[in-house]
A and B are shown apart, each in its own frame.
Chain A
Amino acid sequence: MNTLKIQHVKDCFEHGDHSLGLRRLIDCVMDTNDLKIQQSLLDLIDAYESSNEIDPSNLDALIQKLIQYQYPENTASHASLLEVKDLAKQYQSSQFKISPISFTLKYGEVVGLVGENGNGKTSLLRLLCKDLEQDGGSIKYAAEQNSKSLFELRSRLIYIPQRVPRWYGSLMDNLHFTLSSYGITGEENLMRAELIIARLGLRPFKNHTWNSISSGYRTRFELAKSLLRKPELMLLDEPLSNLDIISQQTILQDLKYMSESTSHPFGLVLSSQQLYEVEKISDLVIFLRQGEAQYQYKNQDLQEGQELIFEMEIEESRDAITKAFESIGISQIQFNGGVYVIHFKAGSNTNEIFTTISEKKLNVNYLRNITQSSRRFFIQ
């Protein structure tokens, strides 16, 4: 596993992807508990930030150290982290309820929650972090085995709400406080805080306060703080909402990568409106409508007789589209004012659709196959 990761780091640097290479390198180094290796990495980062170049000899030396490092064997990585069975919640103050939901999450896996606003995503996350009491079903945590009390269990379930709670003092002080509260003291405390802020691109803001950084960096800070807490289960409510488009793509990939940590893997449940970004990293996507769940598993096979569904932004009219795809056969076509969602009859295939677009010279600006995407659940 680590050999693969280290090879990936080497590849990144060889191909000139220094930024990605550094991020992955930090992940590998953070998996170690070796302060000397961590210090070497920080020196490397300092040099990179000052000259914008990586010293190959220092990099090679560091990679060699990583190759020689004996990573601890983590036996928990394949175990089930969370088993949710028929979980239900009925709010007394309103008619809204979450109908029975069941799923399993292992270490290193990601569950994405999608759905329109007010359909139960936040409620489900709060149920999972024990902030809400369920009315039915069960939640079984792997962390329960090592927890003497409910408080101890909750301290292992890290929930970041959509609206990040305000913090006071400098960013760095907060990280040091978090680490020392978790018993990580002295040099190790300093080192880990430095590494995590480097990992999440917060170095220039280390002495900044809440008021002097943007909401996107506040979210990054919250993630940094949560990652330092060695979570077993991370529950993120709309973590992408304050991030720019580039960060949205990278942060989720990074989180997925970090959840597969060698020394400390964790599970991730996150809600988001960025459907396709979430789908990319999720092992399971749960779509919630009025509290009822529909499930989309990763690499789920196409079922026999299932229609092909395409999302298409096209300049032609509805009639022209219907006529163009007449030979393939359209069972349903919907237009939301921006894009068409076209259901092709069962038995059709993707190649036929592309060929038709090409032959009929249709002016397509955007095209996506959503047959195996939870995007299709949004269609009324």
Chain B
Amino acid sequence: MIKKINQYLLLNHPLLWNIKIVQVLIFALICHSFFFLIGYNSVYGLSVFKEWEYSGLEHFQTFLFGGLLLVLGLIVWLIYYLRHNAFKSFYPVTKTRLRKEFLLVFFVFILNLPIFHTYLYARHLKLLKISAHLNPEEDAKIVNLAAAFIPTSSNKYDSQNCYDSMQARGEREKNMPPPPPDYCDINSSEPVSIEEVTAAVAPNEEITTLSSSYSEYLYGNYYQKAIENVEYKNDANDYHFIVKRWLKNKERDSIKACLQAYFKTMDKYHARHKVDIDTLVAWCFIDEKNTVYHEVTSYYGGLKEFEYAQLGYMEGEFDAINSAINHVNSLKTEGFFSATQTIIYLYIALGLSILLILFRFTRLKPWISAIIGTGVWSIIFGLLTFAFDEDIQYVFILFVFLCLFLSIQFIRSKHNKLFSALWLHWFSFGFLGFFPLLMYNIYRATGEINKCINHVWVTVRPAYPIHDWIDSNWASIGLINWSIGILVTLFLIIPLCYRWQANPSE
């Protein structure tokens, strides 16, 4: 069957046959299916959420295996793909055919590169499946309430670590006082007018630090402490009211029920614990002098079951339950595909495609020389950047344009083929950096300008709208730059290669 398809392609579609499209598709299908199966079967139960990391070391072996498989597949494919070259043999090849070939090469890369992503996607689907019955928001409420009665290290009670709703958290953060202005060195300040000072600093403004505000939100303050003066009306403070009421009214049964629900939740997420609830409830009322006498050890894993059973003190995987709820929540609320990851794959595929077609459409000697030369240029630019700070980026932009100009000039005048190819290669390697650098410079030039006035940084010019647009659209800029990359390759680099190939050798 495959042989028949290949024979048909050979007789009718030489480009598709040459690029070994059938073998590529089969390889991609097998690899993606294989990695999908591995990914899907790598998740056994809910315990995975305790240490679940998206691209952590736990997947390193799979990543390494996928990488090796890709490299091996790429080498085999290249051996067959590079066997025949109609363009270098001066068969009647048009520029459109070269463009098609480039797009096919890009397709081959983009099809095969994300095999590790297929593995992660399969895991994602399996995780969604096994966590379908979980409600992380409800579980978070139980954890939040119970957290007030479990005296682990006090920093665990930081409001930033509690699982009240996002809405409540947003409300809290909105009510935060603005951060104080940075102090600056008066010696480095530039002279400014008195009007600028007056406009920037309101008279008698009280300067409060963030740290002092945050201290009011520490749950630790409420443990074994009478809760007074709670004014904020949000979820977090609802907990405070409840905790305050239970502690003040000595509602032991309520606290016990709360803790029972908490440890049941831990069981649900396969988080281990060895805690005596009655002792814990008793601890809540031992002392009323606002002092934490007892601590429950946070279990970090690594203990064997035997040791775990022998330990006399109370402990539990408190970090793990927090982490698990967080992961389930992000799994359910965030999508799998992200723009950044897509753009990364697009860029890798584009870069590899450009590298390969330059090898395919020119010759080995200029290709190798250009790669070595790129290394040398990088060192030179690195040293210049070190010596002259960031201003060297203009030299880079100038260099890219110089390469373009020289490659066009050399190819048009049928100048030395090696040098004309070198300039073309260097332009091809560098032009993708041009647009982001341009955007970065616009971003820098249109940002707000601060000056140091009376030891305080003052904004003397606000940012332009384009500054904020660029700041929030780096992914779109990346995508635009990638599109420019495709267009430049199709309509500038390929025609130049076409003309270069026709030029006499000497």
List A residues at the B interface (Cβ < 8 Å): 91, 126, 130-133, 149-155, 157-158, 167-169, 173-174, 176-183, 185-186, 189-190, 229
Q: B504–A173 contact, CB under 8 A? A: no
Which of B12, B92, B498, B505 has the most CB atoms of chain A within a 10 A radius of its CB? B92
- B504 in complex: contacting residue of A130, A181, A182, A229, CB < 8 Å: A130
Q: B11–A229 contact, CB under 8 A? A: no
- What mask results when residues 481 to 506 of chain B are scored 1 for a CB within 8 Å of chain A, else 0? 00000000000000000110111111
Chain B, residue nearest A126 (CB): B505
Given contacts A133-B414, A151-B499, A189-B11, contact A177 B505 (CB under 8 A): no
Given contacts A155-B91, A155-B92, A177-B84, contact A149 B502 (CB under 8 A): yes
Q: A185–B12 contact, CB under 8 A? A: yes
Assembled-state Cα–Cα distance A156/B404 (Å): 30
Q: A180–B14 contact, CB under 8 A? A: yes
Q: B84–A168 contact, CB under 8 A? A: yes
The interface residues of chain A lying within 8 Å CB-to-CB of B92 are 152, 155, 181-183
Chain A, residue nearest B18 (CB): A177
A sample of 26 inter-chain contacts (CB < 8 A) reads A91-B506, A130-B502, A132-B506, A133-B506, A149-B502, A150-B499, A151-B90, A151-B498, A151-B499, A151-B502, A154-B90, A155-B90, A155-B91, A157-B90, A168-B84, A176-B10, A177-B14, A177-B84, A179-B11, A180-B11, A181-B92, A181-B93, A182-B91, A183-B92, A185-B11, A185-B12
Given contacts A168-B83, A180-B11, A181-B91, contact A132 B17 (CB under 8 A): no
- A150 in complex: contacting residue of B17, B93, B502, CB < 8 Å: B502
- Nearest Cβ in chain A — how far from B182, in angstroms? 62
Residue count of chain B within 8 Å CB distance of chain A: 23
Asked if B13 is at the interface (CB within 8 A of a chain A CB), the reply is yes
Assembled-state Cα–Cα distance A351/B176 (Å): 123
Asked if B86 is at the interface (CB within 8 A of a chain A CB), the reply is yes
- What mask results when residues 193 to 232 of chain B are scored 1 for a CB within 8 Å of chain A, else 0? 0000000000000000000000000000000000000000
Given contacts A133-B414, A186-B12, contact A178 B502 (CB under 8 A): no
The interface residues of chain A lying within 8 Å CB-to-CB of B498 are 149, 151
The interface residues of chain A lying within 8 Å CB-to-CB of B506 are 91, 132-133
B413-451 with Cβ < 8 A to chain A? 414
Assembled-state Cα–Cα distance A58/B498 (Å): 49
The interface residues of chain B lying within 8 Å CB-to-CB of A149 are 498-499, 502
Q: A180–B13 contact, CB under 8 A? A: yes
Chain B, residue nearest A190 (CB): B11
Assembled-state Cα–Cα distance A369/B208 (Å): 115
Assembled-state Cα–Cα distance A371/B181 (Å): 105
The interface residues of chain A lying within 8 Å CB-to-CB of B503 are 150
The interface residues of chain A lying within 8 Å CB-to-CB of B414 are 133
Assembled-state Cα–Cα distance A99/B84 (Å): 37
The interface residues of chain B lying within 8 Å CB-to-CB of A229 are 91
Assembled-state Cα–Cα distance A155/B11 (Å): 20
The interface residues of chain A lying within 8 Å CB-to-CB of B499 are 149-151
The interface residues of chain A lying within 8 Å CB-to-CB of B18 are 177
When A and B form their complex, which 8 residue pairs have the shortest distance between CB atoms, in order from nearest?
Answer: A151-B502, A168-B83, A150-B502, A133-B504, A180-B14, A181-B91, A181-B86, A185-B12
- Other than the given A151-B498, A169-B84, A185-B12, 19 more pairs (CB < 8 A) read A126-B505, A130-B504, A133-B504, A150-B503, A151-B501, A155-B91, A173-B10, A176-B10, A177-B14, A177-B17, A177-B18, A177-B84, A177-B86, A180-B10, A180-B12, A181-B14, A183-B92, A186-B11, A186-B12
Assembled-state Cα–Cα distance A126/B13 (Å): 31
B68-91 with Cβ < 8 A to chain A? 83-84, 86, 90-91
Q: B83–A176 contact, CB under 8 A? A: no
Assembled-state Cα–Cα distance A154/B91 (Å): 9
The interface residues of chain B lying within 8 Å CB-to-CB of A158 are 90
Assembled-state Cα–Cα distance A179/B13 (Å): 11
The interface residues of chain B lying within 8 Å CB-to-CB of A132 are 504-506
- Nearest Cβ in chain A — how far from B502, in angstroms? 4
The interface residues of chain A lying within 8 Å CB-to-CB of B14 are 177, 180-181
Q: B10–A177 contact, CB under 8 A? A: yes
Which of B13, B83, B90, B499 has the most CB atoms of chain A within a 10 A radius of its CB? B90
The interface residues of chain B lying within 8 Å CB-to-CB of A179 are 11
Assembled-state Cα–Cα distance A133/B420 (Å): 16
Chain B, residue nearest A158 (CB): B90
- Nearest Cβ in chain A — how far from B189, in angstroms? 64
- Nearest Cβ in chain A — how far from B80, in angstroms? 8
Chain A, residue nearest B92 (CB): A155
- Nearest Cβ in chain A — how far from B418, in angstroms? 14
The interface residues of chain B lying within 8 Å CB-to-CB of A183 are 92
- Nearest Cβ in chain A — how far from B56, in angstroms? 44
- Nearest Cβ in chain A — how far from B12, in angstroms? 5
The interface residues of chain B lying within 8 Å CB-to-CB of A186 are 11-12
Chain B, residue nearest A154 (CB): B90
Q: A174–B91 contact, CB under 8 A? A: no
Q: B91–A178 contact, CB under 8 A? A: yes
Q: B13–A131 contact, CB under 8 A? A: no
The interface residues of chain A lying within 8 Å CB-to-CB of B17 are 177, 180
Assembled-state Cα–Cα distance A154/B414 (Å): 15
- Nearest Cβ in chain B — how far from A206, in angstroms? 14
Chain B, residue nearest A148 (CB): B94
- Nearest Cβ in chain B — how far from A120, in angstroms? 14
- Nearest Cβ in chain A — how far from B279, in angstroms? 78
- Nearest Cβ in chain B — how far from A284, in angstroms? 25
The interface residues of chain B lying within 8 Å CB-to-CB of A185 are 11-12
The interface residues of chain B lying within 8 Å CB-to-CB of A190 are 11
Chain A, residue nearest B8 (CB): A186
- A154 in complex: contacting residue of B10, B83, B84, B502, CB < 8 Å: B502
- Nearest Cβ in chain B — how far from A231, in angstroms? 11
Assembled-state Cα–Cα distance A157/B89 (Å): 11
Assembled-state Cα–Cα distance A131/B501 (Å): 10
The interface residues of chain A lying within 8 Å CB-to-CB of B86 are 177, 181
Assembled-state Cα–Cα distance A153/B504 (Å): 12
The interface residues of chain A lying within 8 Å CB-to-CB of B84 are 168-169, 174, 177
- Nearest Cβ in chain A — how far from B501, in angstroms? 6
Assembled-state Cα–Cα distance A168/B85 (Å): 11
The interface residues of chain B lying within 8 Å CB-to-CB of A126 are 505
Assembled-state Cα–Cα distance A183/B93 (Å): 10
The interface residues of chain B lying within 8 Å CB-to-CB of A150 are 499, 502-503
- What mask results when residues 45 to 61 of chain B are scored 1 for a CB within 8 Å of chain A, else 0? 00000000000000000
- Nearest Cβ in chain A — how far from B405, in angstroms? 21
Assembled-state Cα–Cα distance A153/B86 (Å): 15
Assembled-state Cα–Cα distance A178/B13 (Å): 11
- Nearest Cβ in chain B — how far from A13, in angstroms? 33
- Nearest Cβ in chain A — how far from B192, in angstroms? 64
- What mask results when residues 12 to 52 of chain B are scored 1 for a CB within 8 Å of chain A, else 0? 11100110000000000000000000000000000000000
Assembled-state Cα–Cα distance A57/B464 (Å): 92
The interface residues of chain B lying within 8 Å CB-to-CB of A154 are 90, 502
Assembled-state Cα–Cα distance A158/B89 (Å): 9
